[in-house]
Structure 1
């Protein structure tokens, strides 16, 4: 990589004037975290002036303005609007050369910021792999240790973003162009889809009259143990359950019970088991005979007898 001259590098991290366009949950949590990390946000703008004022009031020495005011005053601008609004912000705001313009979407291509690049700004992405709830302070506490996906072609912007991730106590991940949607979908499996799977489990408890709370009281400790096993032994090595040990008899009983409740639920179970068999086989946990028996079990039409 060629060395970057002082003129090309922009201001040092300590001197950066940071601003946000968009004042929702992610913006509030990230701005508060940056302030606590010694990188205060000076300006915040939003299409909703009351939202900008409310967020500015949460921060020290931060002023509310319109989106153009953020671009006029700041060296590095985080666009934290809903994904569908990012392109509109990039098109309607006047940017300048040597300025960093970064969106915080997990799935949206950095290419939507091309109008800023055409004006000479450095464009990129900065996405914390974390869920942001309604409590900004709780979200701030959840940030340390998480991964931040960073995409920036310009070396100065790349250096700024990695330095900010480090300040936040996060691991900066350099994401190659074109990988954002795959990266973001992976987060869905570890977050959104877990809720869907637990909803299926709760339905089974409710089928005999138990409540959702009773189900969660029983299942959440199991989930916490599963997470600990994942961290300790890896994806395949830490996988529990009948599929991982080739217990076709238990899988057969599961399929019969699920078919009686809802054939669509049994179908989802089957699809997950097929993937589980492949995972266990790749890890050397199932021999060919066990794999064949599991495949036969999953291919058979289940009856409704337990």
Structure 2
């Protein structure tokens, strides 16, 4: 890993996890000018996804990715995250000044605590969107909000990363991450269940393409509900002062 004082402006980004989220975030950051140093992929499906999304990026073992990278993205299932962080800490893999970002909705930065002693910079960044694991997710990110949790001095780093990926950052405090995760799960689970039930009822009475029939209704109903729950006048959420990305980028001194 390049020492912080020697960074030229772009980050070397390593991705641990080649599910639907990690490769997409890597592609977005590559588009912002960062260099993807490597990605880990275990299953055949994840290897195929990594090759399709990041064809010039080597598939590496996790310790090598951590060694090479200034920013490490942990895009793994929630249940695997604590063990991954503590396991790498036990082997002395983490490096001082290294940005370590995870994508879990329910965890803040405390899940990264085993790496604090090494001097890492912890970031919790969760994109509030549904991923397909394909390049079409890049356009979806332009309309998406990302929950960011980080120590106050480095919060602007998390916010700028989100902006560089095309999203909009919203600050969620450490103590509120569980409630945030519940909101995300509720919206995802119930919307899917309701659509499945409604389309099933129409299909049961012989309506062809029930999804197309219900689509405009569902979208307008959801838009109306979201509008009612938003601040009066359609004001945007307060996101704090987000410094605009500069030519020097995130790796500047």
**TM-score, with length taken from structure 2:** 0.77
Mapped to 2, the partners of 1:175 and 1:10 lie a distance apart of 30
Report how far residue 219 of structure 1 moved: 1.6
8 A contact 2:23–2:49 mirrored in 1: no
In terms of Rg, which structure is larger?
1
Deviations 1:218-257 (A, max 9, x none): 22111122244346x42399xxxxxxxxxxxxxxxxxxxx
Deviations 1:250-299 (A, max 9, x none): xxxxxxxxxxxxxxxxxxxxxxxxxxxxxxxxxxxxxxxxxxxxxxxxxx
Mapped to 2, the partners of 1:236 and 1:34 lie a distance apart of 30
Report how far residue 66 of structure 1 moved: 0.7
More helix by share: 1
Task: Structure 1: state its 5+ residue gaps.
Answer: 1-6, 238-306
8 A contact 1:35–1:41 mirrored in 2: yes
Mapped to 2, the partners of 1:86 and 1:12 lie a distance apart of 28
8 A contact 2:108–2:149 mirrored in 1: no
Verify: 1:90 aligned to 2:77, yes or no: no
Please report the RMSD computed on the Cα atoms of aligned residues, expressed in angstroms.
Answer: 2.8
Equivalent position of 2:157 in the other structure: 160
Report how far residue 104 of structure 1 moved: 0.5
Equivalent position of 2:143 in the other structure: 145
Mapped to 2, the partners of 1:130 and 1:186 lie a distance apart of 12
The structure-2 alpha-carbon separation of the partners of 1:10 and 1:55, relative to structure 1 and needing over 3 Å to count, comes to farther
Equivalent position of 1:277 in the other structure: none
Mapped to 2, the partners of 1:126 and 1:228 lie a distance apart of 25
Report how far residue 197 of structure 1 moved: 1.5
Equivalent position of 1:235 in the other structure: 229
Question: How many residues in Structure 1 have an aligned counterpart in Structure 2?
Answer: 225
Task: Structure 2: state its 5+ residue gaps.
Answer: 232-253
Higher relative contact order (CA 8 A, sep 6+): 2
Equivalent position of 1:274 in the other structure: none
